[in-house]
Structures are given as structure tokens and as C-alpha cells.
Amino acid sequence: MEKATFAAGCFWGVQAAFDEISGVVRTLAGYTGGMTTDPTYKDVCSGRTGHAEAVEATYDPSIVSYDELLDIFWRIHDPTTLNRQGPDVGSQYRSAIFYHNDTQRKKALDSKHALEKTGRYSKRVVTEIVAAGPFYPAEDYHQHYLRKRPGSCSY
């Protein structure tokens, strides 16, 4: 099993998207990329912790590749909006790939460059590609939020 960590706005929708992928055996909504130890949702929403709402996906690379997970990541959000996805605004909603090893780093960079070359977006892709650091699970009520509350998110 391997891990992949992505931030693409509100973690509810990101988690729901990766939960649908065959080969992803577990997802966890949480916070990463900041400087506060063990932050809460309230802390992260303040915008002062530096953390992003993110999803850590544990996957079986014999079923789904990291490249396939990257393709899904690029499709589920707008990587050209800085610190914003839909109605959610703030650095905690930034677009970021948190790589766990050099192979993931290279694949993430290559996929970003390939996306930029497609001309799919008229604006620059602002997705950060940074080393994974500590990942703090979000509170239980955030885990699989959309599965527990279908129709609760309008975007």
C-alpha cells in the first residue's frame, strides 16, 4: 500500500471523489502543510495555521497508479484559482499535491507541466507541489461527510 495526499478545496468533495476509485482502500480528510501541531477545524478555518484541507488516500498500486490518482486530482477542481475553490476562499482551500517520495514528486511535476501544455486553462496552474509533512486527521464529523449527508454540498 502507498499513500497520496491532495488538497483541492473543501476536503468533503475531494474525499468523496477518491472514495469512488477502485484501488483506493482508505481515505482520510485532514489538515497538512502548516505550522501548527494538531490543529482543529476552527484553527484551520482561521487561516492562521498555514494548513490546507487535504485528503490522504491509501491505495494499492497494483490496482490504481499514482498517475491515475493525479489525473483524478486535476479533473476534480480548478487548479488555476489561488487559495479558492468555488465559494470557499482562503489558503486552507489551496490546490496542492503533497508528495511522499521522489517518484511522486517527479510524476506530480510532470503531470502539472503536461496539463499546462494542453492549453485547457487560459490562466496559469497555481497548484503547489511540496513534500508531505505531518498529516492531522480532521474531526470525525468531517470524515466521509458527503456520504453521510447526501445533497448537502451544492458545488
Known catalytic residues are 10
Residue with the three cell numbers 484541507:
53
Residue 108 φ then ψ, to 5°: -65, -45
User: Roughly what angle, to the nearest 10 degrees, separates helices 11-19 and 66-75?
Assistant: 130
- Taking the alpha carbons of 60, 66, 68, 70 in that order, is the dihedral positive or negative? positive
How many other C-beta atoms can be found within 10 angstroms of the C-beta atom of residue 1? 9
